[in-house]
Amino acid sequence: MPVRRRLHRLAEVRRQEGVTLRTIARRLGLSPEEVLQQEQDSDLPLSTLYAWQEALDVPASEFLVEGDMPLSTPVLRRAQLLRMMKTVMSIVERSKQSSIRRLAQFLAEQLAEVMPELKEVEPWPAVGKRRTTSELGQAAFRRFHSALSLELDHDSA
């Protein structure tokens, strides 16, 4: 059986944007396993691509594979600025020296001048960072919902 060529590059764009599997799953309202499946599927409906477009704030055309073409320059630049801002915000949040925090804050303001939507960027997650109560609730809800769906499917069979 011939291997079907993927017609999208969801995973590549997600990684380029610096978004984790868990984060995109939360934005899409899916489990990480469902997101991974979408990234691996060879063909997806347009509605899925549009959902990803909204979740990553990237034009849907960037997800489409056109031979061996790299991501467009504007999307690559945006991804670079996003990663830079995440690093700067991490310095602001974690630095113990006020002078370093002030310099990082100044850099964040300069980056936001170049790309205003960077004002909303949060720092990189801390290693071993605990989830908030609401995030735990969402994770538990998704597991419960998945288990209930499986049970209902099994009962109807």
**Statement to judge: residues 97 and 135 lie in one domain:** no
**How does 120-156 read in b/e, with b if 16+ C-beta sit within 10 Å?**
ebeebeeeeeeeeeeeeeeeeebeeeeeeeeeeeeee
Q: Show which of 70, 96, 112 is a domain's final residue.
A: 70
**Statement to judge: residues 59 and 109 lie in one domain:** no
**Statement to judge: residues 64 and 76 lie in one domain:** no
Question: 90, exposed or middle or buried, with CB in 10 Å at 0-12, 13-18, 19+?
Answer: middle
Domain residues for 31?
A: 1-70
**Statement to judge: residues 1 and 66 lie in one domain:** yes
Higher pLDDT pick, 41 / 99 = 99
Confidence of residue 9 (pLDDT cuts 50, 70, 90): confident
Closest CA to 29 of 62, 61, 54: 54
**Statement to judge: residues 103 and 144 lie in one domain:** no
Confidence of residue 136 (pLDDT cuts 50, 70, 90): very low
Total domain count, the chain: 3
Give residue 17's pLDDT: 84
Dihedral sign of CA atoms 59, 62, 65, 67 in order: positive
Q: Is the pTM of this model over 0.75?
A: no
**Statement to judge: residues 21 and 37 lie in one domain:** yes
What are the tens digits of pLDDT across the range 16-66?
A: 888 888 999 999 999 999 999 988 887 788 888 889 888 888 887 777 765
CATH at residue 66: 1.10.260.40
**Statement to judge: residues 43 and 100 lie in one domain:** no
**Statement to judge: residues 35 and 100 lie in one domain:** no
**Statement to judge: residues 40 and 96 lie in one domain:** no
**Statement to judge: residues 17 and 61 lie in one domain:** yes
115 has a pLDDT exceeding 90? no
